Amino acid sequence: MILLGSTGSIGQNALAIAQRYDLNVEVLVAGTRIDILNAQIAQFHPKQVVIANASDIHKVNHPHVRAGSAAIIDTIEHSGSSLVVNAMVGFAGLAPTMAAINAGKKVALANKESLVVGGAFVNTSRIVPIDSEHFGLWYLQNGRAIRRMIITASGGAFRDWPLEAMVNATLADTQKHPNWSMGQKITIDSATMMNKLFELLEARWLFGEGEYDALIERKSLVHALVDFVDGSMTAHLAHANMQLPIAYALRGRVDEPLLPAMDLVAMGALEFAPIDVARYPLWELKEDVLRHPHKGVVLNAANEAAIKRFIAGEIGFMDMANKVKIAYERFDARPRSIDEVYAWHEEVYQTVLTL
Ligand code: NDP
Ligand code: MG
């Protein structure tokens, strides 16, 4: 496989699965955490390595290192691997996803932003998602008529904070996720609930038109539910560990114990609650976003710019949702091609940087 984003949270879990099942890693792609990358090179012996910046190449212990986004695309196009695991973060993941599909490869996709912004132009038959909720929905499909698909949210770092305290939340506060250990950006997206808007769009592109919704389940043990037309409902339960969806995405099946069994008695009560728009103002966009999924490019670009400004200390935590909502109202993006997705991304992103 080619692994994009090997030094990140999903990337490291993907390598744990590669080691467990003795899968071949042809290419490692990482950003700036060269110390972690060097340890991975020593363990997995990739043929090629690509990193973000040319100025770091001399630090990498490998004879074939290149740098930059063009090198990532070129490496995908010329590699022999039939599987690309895309665990990069943000809009930067779109071009590699498109290149991999165009090169006839299968994509194990953690980079949900690819689908959020470009879902209309992505051949999803070549994609297997690495996201616990979509894995759960896939696991539950049984060919019967579906009324609605539901995914769950933990509520993120501020689910129990007094509402008035959230305006002062810091970057460090956003990173205290109650149930999952993930990269910085998705942990912010969990606190704002943007992650769940993204996942509804991701589900829409993966599973087609239909009814989608999300609910809070605080223990992150139920990941997805399918509400069937006949009145039955089934739920997917598993411990909060990305190695399960990753193993399925990489191998297609898992026939031996991978995670500890679910213990219903130890689990205790499970509760489901609606997502409160006072705590998560972005949730007001849900219905509109699902009706106009092509506006995902606006949602994502505004979010990336707002997060950049929040991390820089320029705007507060609650300002992120405000900026995204203003941009969402202002830009009626209807991209007709992937090139137009790039153009809309740039326009919205630049606008929100100074909004
Ligand atoms: P991380 O921030 O932990 O990892 C991101 C990876 O991308 C790192 O390896 C980083 O390199 C690399 N990267 C970033 N920019 C570049 C670049 N320009 N060129 C090359 N490599 C780059 O994120 P996560 O692993 O948490 O998330 C990755 C994706 O998976 C996101 O889209 C997220 O939404 C999704 N996802 C994550 C889940 C999770 O449990 N973490 C669950 C479901 C989906 P470096 O660190 O070396 O700079
Ligand atoms: Mg998820």
Q: Do residue 125 and residue 156 come from a single domain?
A: no
- For 79, the token pair is 């590699």
Q: Do residue 126 and residue 148 come from a single domain?
A: no
Q: Do residue 282 and residue 341 come from a single domain?
A: yes
Q: Do residue 119 and residue 141 come from a single domain?
A: no
Q: Which domain holds residue 57?
A: 2-130
Q: Is residue 246 part of a domain?
A: no
Q: Is residue 267 part of a domain?
A: no
Q: Do residue 114 and residue 179 come from a single domain?
A: no
C-alpha 9/C-alpha 342 separation (Å) is 26
C-alpha 89/C-alpha 110 separation (Å) is 8
Instruction: List residues bridging with 233 in a β-sheet.
Output: 227
Task: Give the pLDDT confidence of 59-93 residue by residue, as tens digits.
Answer: 999 999 999 999 999 999 999 999 999 999 999 99
Ligand 1 atom nearest 113 alpha carbon: 32
Q: Do residue 138 and residue 232 come from a single domain?
A: yes
Residues whose Cβ atom is located within 5 A of ion ligand 2: 131-133
Q: Do residue 113 and residue 234 come from a single domain?
A: no
Instruction: Pick the ligand that lies closest to the CA of residue 151.
Output: 2
Q: What is the pLDDT of residue 105?
A: 98
With 0-12 / 13-18 / 19 or more C-beta atoms within 10 angstroms meaning exposed / middle / buried, residue 184 is middle
- Residues with Cβ < 8 Å from 88, sequence gap 6 or more? 4, 5, 8, 29, 96, 111
Is the pLDDT at 352 greater than 90, yes or no? yes
Pocket test for ligand 1, best of 2, 7, 10, 239 (most atoms within 8 A of CB): 10
Q: Do residue 185 and residue 280 come from a single domain?
A: yes
Q: Is residue 227 part of a domain?
A: yes
pTM of the model: 0.98
Q: Is residue 271 part of a domain?
A: no
Q: Is residue 162 part of a domain?
A: yes
Q: Do residue 154 and residue 126 come from a single domain?
A: no
For the chain, how many structural domains are there in total?
A: 2
Pocket test for ligand 1, best of 12, 69, 88, 181 (most atoms within 8 A of CB): 88
- Per-residue confidence at 180, pLDDT binned at 50, 70, 90? confident
Q: Do residue 207 and residue 152 come from a single domain?
A: yes
Q: Do residue 99 and residue 229 come from a single domain?
A: no
Q: Which among 137, 156, 100, 182 has a CA at the least distance from the CA of 320?
A: 156
Q: Do residue 145 and residue 116 come from a single domain?
A: no
Q: Is residue 45 part of a domain?
A: yes
Q: Is residue 41 part of a domain?
A: yes
Task: Give the pLDDT confidence of 122-162 residue by residue, as tens digits.
Answer: 999 999 999 999 999 999 999 999 999 999 999 999 999 99
Task: Give the pLDDT confidence of 247-299 residue by residue, as tens digits.
Answer: 999 999 999 999 999 999 999 999 999 999 999 999 999 999 999 999 999 99
Residue 53: CATH number of its domain: 3.40.50.720
Task: Give the pLDDT confidence of 315-350 residue by residue, as tens digits.
Answer: 999 999 999 999 999 999 999 999 999 999 999 999
How many Å lie between the centroid of ligand 1 and the Cα of residue 269? 33
* Number of C-beta neighbours around residue 259 at 10 A: 13
- Residues with Cβ < 8 Å from 23, sequence gap 6 or more? 1, 17, 250, 251
34 backbone dihedrals φ, ψ, rounded to 5°: -70, -30
